[in-house]
Amino acid sequence: MKPRLLALYLLATGLLLSTMGCSKKNDPESTANTASYVSDGRRVSCTATADLYTNAGTDYLTLDLTTAPQLTAGKETLRLLYVKSTSDPASAYELTQLQQFDSGAIIILYAADAYTLTPNSDGTFSGTFSSGAKHPNPGITAPTLTSGVFTNVRP
């Protein structure tokens, strides 16, 4: 009887250990997406998050690319704002503006020079972007953004 009990114990332990490797973490850090861009020659690595909302027949898709790891000076975020008519397909989104935030305050507005946005079949978005700066104060020069990329960002 003892060998049979030992065999059952080993079988149960084996099954338990084999299912532990298949468990899925659902905390925010395990689902965080990455992105990057180059700001005047400096590569910036980011965590990407997205939000979708509708207002008065217009769909808005915002992508927030937050510097990771955080800078000692505070949180730095580049926001990409895409817009389309609610009746249009997701492929119709247009990048209308990029906004640079430093510790929550907007510091630079950018116009989109070039971009791609691909709605993926799983509901995520991937794309590329680049931009020269457009700032309300002509005396302020802002960095040029190039080689921007994000992959599989889920709203």
> For the domain that residue 135 is a member of, what is the CATH number?
2.40.128
**Structural tokens at position 145:** 């953004």
pLDDT per residue over 62-101, tens digit each? 999 998 876 666 678 999 999 999 999 999 999 998 888 8
At residue 8 the predicted structure's pLDDT band, cuts being 50, 70 and 90, is very low
For the chain, report the end-to-end CA distance as a whole number of angstroms.
56
**Residue 8 domain-assigned?**
no
Q: For residue 154, is pLDDT > 90?
A: yes
Q: What share of the chain is helix, strand, coil (3-state, %, to 5)?
A: 15, 55, 30
Residue 10 lies in a domain: no
Q: Give residue 136's domain range.
A: 27-153
- Flag whether 97 is in a domain: yes
66 part of a folded domain: yes
Residues 72, 59: Cα–Cα separation, whole Å: 35
CA gap 59, 114 in Å, rounded: 21
Alpha-carbon distance of 122 to 111, in angstroms, equals 29
**Cut 0.95: pTM above it:** no
Residue 32 included in any domain: yes
Query: Is there a domain that residue 149 lies in?
Result: yes
Q: Find where tokens 């990455």 sit.
A: 34
In a domain, 13, yes or no: no
| Domain count along the chain | 1
Residue 21 identity: G
Residues across the chain: 155
19 in a structural domain: no
Work out the average pLDDT over 93-115: 84
- Sign for the CA dihedral angle at 103, 108, 109, 114 comes to negative
